[in-house]
């Protein structure tokens, strides 16, 4: 077979050297600029709309204002939804930590095979779409002895499954990075009970991991809509359900709401990432 | 030692109970009730789905939008990753932070952003109409949804693909070049075979992600657009006829499709795996 490109043609091996100050951008830079523009477009438009006093018949907003944000932050329904979202997220995180931490510790100390099992189990929340789970949850907990649908409890309990994959991985990784078994043995040799050893020796050592898990799970939970809308809806309106119900409101107002929600998510992820940077180098092995 | 020692497995019990009650049990309920027909067992719900043009349309549209948006998203993500490996470190860092950031922008807020951008009175819609580039943008159509889906597939694709691209060694390119391979030959014989497993598994994740997506499309079109997830939700939480057993059957069809896609990927992958990475 004769290849049209069989003649040796030198490839750029390293980054092309700058010849002058005014060089045409390379095709790679153009591709990246295009992708950045594409991804930025909805965000920039929403930010612009949230800050525009009017943006109708013109290409650019007519005037800048913070009025929409001020109006949003003075709306009782928004503040109530914010409070509910925080309450549910904090409750779900506390529950998840209480349920998952013992499993992660036992998997690293007592039951070595458990880690393998857990790594398979935690794929389930990824594999089953929330809509499918909701169908079952709605039937199982709508009446009878466990009548949870329509109350915040069902969300706190269900959000545990959302936080699970991320929380387990992060906790297991930070536990693996330190020598849990030896530290526990040392503490117990010095007379501490297993509980004391755990709270005074292990927990302070995995604090960074716990914080990463909390911040990042928090950002997922604040953004959760499917369960919140299908299982509870307006009976305990969270931020995402509130946003969806504001469909008829002014586009400027909802834009301010979207930007506020996105900022909350970004701050939470940033706090998590900052913790990850502080984690001692050994932890990354 | 204070007090009696509790057995260690007791630490696993609360987790196991909660995981069963809120992850396993709902799935089991769906799998069982899909075959419940008025107190008896049968395949009637599946027959109804197969016979109904309405449900068949929902399944096809879900597949169409998922596959097309995954192909587009994967193509753009591949181009971006390739450009990232060849660009300078600073631009690469900007790209990674930016894709991380945009991957957090999903669900209902994303839908609202697209309404602002491309809705009937959207910023981009008005601008393009004014410049006479397009007659109208129809966000609430199949092609409109494909645009929105593709948008959220791109950051996910980049985040999943980039590690594989970073694994392409410069030496291979140099070696290929020394042996007389051009750019095309390099990609055909070295680059793509090495990346094939990563491309395939990323594609699978993207398709599954799109098939199960609900929040964005619900916030965009409510129940007026016919997709599997919209139909499932409407059968258990809609305003009119609630038919939880039928919802279970349709949900099971969705799960079977997702499993099927994963199995196809697994069936293709082993060969390329032994070829490529070693």
Question: With an 8 Å Cβ cutoff, is B90 touching chain A?
Answer: no
Residues of chain B with pLDDT under 70: 1-5, 270-278
pLDDT band at residue A22 under the 50/70/90 scheme? low
Start-to-end CA distance of chain A, whole Å, equals 48
Residue A178 lies in a domain: yes
SS (H, E, C) B195-263: HHHHHHHHHHHHHHHHHHCCHHHHHHHCCCCCCHHHHHHHHHHCCCCCCHHHHHHHHHHHHHHHHHHHH
Residue B92 lies in a domain: yes
Residue A122 lies in a domain: yes
Same-domain check for residues A127 and A185: yes
CA distance B82 to B48: 47
Residue A18 lies in a domain: no
CA distance B30 to B33: 5
**Nearest Cβ partner for B180 among A6, A56, A127:** A6
Taking CA–CA distances from A224, the nearest residue in chain B reads B107
Provide the sign of the torsion angle of the four alpha carbons B241, B243, B246, B248, taken in this order: positive
Residue A6, pLDDT above cutoff 90: no
Whether A206 contacts A283, CB under 8 Å: no
Same-domain check for residues A188 and A247: yes
Residue A283, pLDDT above cutoff 50: no
What pLDDT is attached to residue A198?
Answer: 86
Whether B142 contacts B65, CB under 8 Å: yes
What is the SS3 assignment for B40?
Answer: strand
Partners of residue B40 on adjacent β-strands: B37
What is the SS3 assignment for A281?
Answer: helix
Lowest mean pLDDT among A3-7, A180-184, B142-146: A3-7
Residue A215 lies in a domain: yes
**B contact test, residue of A35, A40, A103, A144 with most B CBs within 10 A:** A35
Q: Which domain holds residue A90?
A: 69-284
Whether B182 contacts A5, CB under 8 Å: yes
Same-domain check for residues A48 and A162: no
Residue B41 lies in a domain: no
Residue B3 lies in a domain: no
Asked whether the beta carbons of residue A105 and residue B236 sit closer than 8 angstroms, the reply is no
Same-domain check for residues A35 and A101: no
Whether A259 contacts A46, CB under 8 Å: yes
The size of chain B, in residues, is 278
Residue B12 lies in a domain: no
Q: How many of the other CB atoms lie within 10 Å of CB of A169?
A: 16
What pLDDT is attached to residue A2?
Answer: 42
CA distance B90 to A29: 12
Same-domain check for residues A32 and A152: no
User: Interface pTM (ipTM) of the complex?
Assistant: 0.90
Whether B267 contacts B94, CB under 8 Å: no
Provide the sign of the torsion angle of the four alpha carbons B263, B67, B157, A264, taken in this order: negative
pLDDT digits (tens, 9 = 90+) for A208-251: 889 999 998 999 999 999 999 999 999 999 999 999 999 888 88
Q: What percent of chain A has pLDDT over 70?
A: 87
Taking CA–CA distances from B15, the nearest residue in chain A reads A99
Residue A134 lies in a domain: yes
**Nearest Cβ partner for A136 among B25, B121, B122:** B25
> Comparing C-alpha atoms, which of B228, B190, B22 is closest to residue A231?
B22
Indicate the pairing of strand B40-41 with strand B36-37. antiparallel
Residue A21 lies in a domain: no
Q: Which domain holds residue B97?
A: 48-276
Taking CA–CA distances from B128, the nearest residue in chain A reads A59
What pLDDT is attached to residue B99?
Answer: 93
Name every chain B residue with its beta carbon within 8 A of the beta carbon of A42. Answer: 105, 110, 113-114, 116-117, 151
What pLDDT is attached to residue A197?
Answer: 87
CA distance B12 to A184: 19
CA distance A35 to B151: 10
CA distance A228 to B228: 19
Residue B30 lies in a domain: no
Residue A177, pLDDT above cutoff 70: yes
DSSP B120: T
Same-domain check for residues A233 and A184: yes
Same-domain check for residues A34 and A82: no
Cα of A225 to nearest chain B Cα, Å:
6
For chain B, count helices (H), then strands (E).
Answer: 14, 2
Residue A9 lies in a domain: no
Residue A4, pLDDT above cutoff 50: no
Name every chain B residue with its beta carbon within 8 A of the beta carbon of A175. Answer: none
SS (H, E, C) A45-112: HHHHHHHECCCCCCCCCCCECCHHHHHHHCCHHHHHHHHHHHHHHHHHHHHHHHHHHHHHHHHHHCCH
Question: With an 8 Å Cβ cutoff, is A263 touching chain B?
Answer: no
Residue B231 lies in a domain: yes
Residue B254 maps to which CATH number? 1.10.3720.10
* Size of the A and B interface in Cβ pairs below 8 Å: 261
Same-domain check for residues A44 and A119: no
Question: With an 8 Å Cβ cutoff, is B124 touching chain A?
Answer: yes
CA distance A130 to A227: 7
Cα of B276 to nearest chain A Cα, Å:
22
Question: With an 8 Å Cβ cutoff, is B219 touching chain A?
Answer: yes
Element (H, E) at B255: helix B244-276
Provide the sign of the torsion angle of the four alpha carbons A133, A136, A140, A141, taken in this order: positive
pLDDT digits (tens, 9 = 90+) for A73-129: 999 999 999 999 999 999 999 999 999 999 999 998 888 899 999 999 999 998 899
The two tokens of residue A41 are: 């477009």
Which of A14, A39, A65 delimits the end of a domain? Answer: A65
CA distance A203 to B15: 19
Asked whether the beta carbons of residue B29 and residue A139 sit closer than 8 angstroms, the reply is yes
DSSP B119: S
Cβ burial of B129 (10 Å; 0-12, 13-18, 19+) is middle
**Nearest Cβ partner for B87 among A32, A164, A224:** A32
Cα of B49 to nearest chain A Cα, Å:
16
**A contact test, residue of B81, B99, B108, B247 with most A CBs within 10 A:** B108
CA distance A228 to A238: 7
Question: With an 8 Å Cβ cutoff, is A182 touching chain B?
Answer: no
CA distance A22 to A266: 36
What is the SS3 assignment for A16?
Answer: coil
Same-domain check for residues A59 and A83: no
The two tokens of residue B71 are: 């192909």
CA angle A39, A45, A47 (to 5 degrees): 105
Domain count, chain B: 1
Residue B237 lies in a domain: yes
Same-domain check for residues A87 and A60: no
Residue B15 lies in a domain: no
Taking CA–CA distances from B10, the nearest residue in chain A reads A102
Residue A104 lies in a domain: yes
Name every chain A residue with its beta carbon within 8 A of the beta carbon of B233. Answer: 131, 134, 230
Element (H, E) at B71: helix B53-86
Cα of A109 to nearest chain B Cα, Å:
10
Domain count, chain A: 2
The CA distances from residue A128 to A132, A136, B6, B28, in Å, are: 7, 12, 35, 12
What pLDDT is attached to residue A91?
Answer: 97
Q: How many of the other CB atoms lie within 10 Å of CB of B153?
A: 28
Cα of A66 to nearest chain B Cα, Å:
18
């Amino acid at each position: 077979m004769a290849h049209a490109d069989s003649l040796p043609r030198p490839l750029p091996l390293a980054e092309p050297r700058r010849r002058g100050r005014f060089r045409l951008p390379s095709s790679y830079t153009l591709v990246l600029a295009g992708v950045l523009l594409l991804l930025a477009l909805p965000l920039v438009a929403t930010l612009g709309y949230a800050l525009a006093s009017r943006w109708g018949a013109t290409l650019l907003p007519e005037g800048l204002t913070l009025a929409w944000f001020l109006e949003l932050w003075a709306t009782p329904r928004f503040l109530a939804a914010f409070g509910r979202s925080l309450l549910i997220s904090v409750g779900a995180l506390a529950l998840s930590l209480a349920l998952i931490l013992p499993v992660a510790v036992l998997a690293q100390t007592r039951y070595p095979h458990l880690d393998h099992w857990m790594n398979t189990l935690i794929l389930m929340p990824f594999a089953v779409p929330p809509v499918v789970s909701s169908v079952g949850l709605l039937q199982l907990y709508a009446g009878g002895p466990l009548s949870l649908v329509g109350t915040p409890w069902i969300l706190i309990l269900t959000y545990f499954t959302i936080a699970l994959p991320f929380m387990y991985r992060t906790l297991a990784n930070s536990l693996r990075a330190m020598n849990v078994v030896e530290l526990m043995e040392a503490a117990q040799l010095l007379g501490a009970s297993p509980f004391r050893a755990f709270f005074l020796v292990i927990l302070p050592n995995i604090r960074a991991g716990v914080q990463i898990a909390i911040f990042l799970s928090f950002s997922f939970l604040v953004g959760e809509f499917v369960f919140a809308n299908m299982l509870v809806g307006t009976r305990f309106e969270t931020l995402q359900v509130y946003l969806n119900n504001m469909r008829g409101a002014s586009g400027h107002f909802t834009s301010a709401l979207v930007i506020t929600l996105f900022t909350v998510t970004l701050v939470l992820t940033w706090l998590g990432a900052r913790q990850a940077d502080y984690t001692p180098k050994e932890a990354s092995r | 030692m204070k007090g009696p020692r509790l057995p260690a497995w007791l630490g696993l019990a609360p987790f196991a109970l909660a995981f069963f009650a809120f992850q396993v049990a709902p799935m089991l309920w769906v799998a069982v009730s899909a075959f419940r027909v008025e107190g008896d067992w049968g395949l009637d719900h599946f027959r109804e789905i197969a016979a109904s043009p309405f449900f068949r349309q929902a399944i096809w549209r879900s597949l169409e939008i998922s596959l097309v948006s995954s192909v587009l998203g994967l193509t753009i993500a591949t181009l971006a990753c390739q450009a990232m490996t060849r660009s300078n470190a600073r631009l690469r860092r900007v790209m990674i932070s930016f894709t991380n950031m945009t991957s957090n922008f999903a669900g209902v807020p994303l839908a609202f952003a697209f309404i602002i951008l491309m809705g009937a009175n959207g910023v981009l819609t008005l601008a393009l109409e004014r410049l006479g580039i397009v007659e109208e943008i129809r966000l609430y159509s199949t092609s409109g949804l494909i645009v929105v889906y593709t948008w959220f597939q791109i950051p996910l694709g980049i985040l999943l693909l980039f590690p594989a691209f970073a694994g392409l060694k410069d030496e291979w390119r140099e070696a290929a070049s020394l042996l007389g391979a051009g750019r095309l030959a390099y990609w055909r014989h070295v680059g793509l075979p090495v990346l094939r497993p990563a491309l395939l598994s990323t594609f699978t994740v993207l398709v599954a992600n799109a098939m199960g997506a609900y929040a964005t499309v619900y916030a965009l079109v409510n129940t007026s657009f016919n997709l599997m997830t919209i139909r499932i939700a409407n059968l258990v939480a809609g305003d009119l006829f609630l038919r939880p057993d039928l919802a279970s059957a349709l949900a099971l069809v969705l799960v079977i499709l997702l499993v099927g896609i994963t199995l196809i990927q697994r069936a293709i992958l082993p060969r390329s795996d032994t070829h490529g990475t070693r």
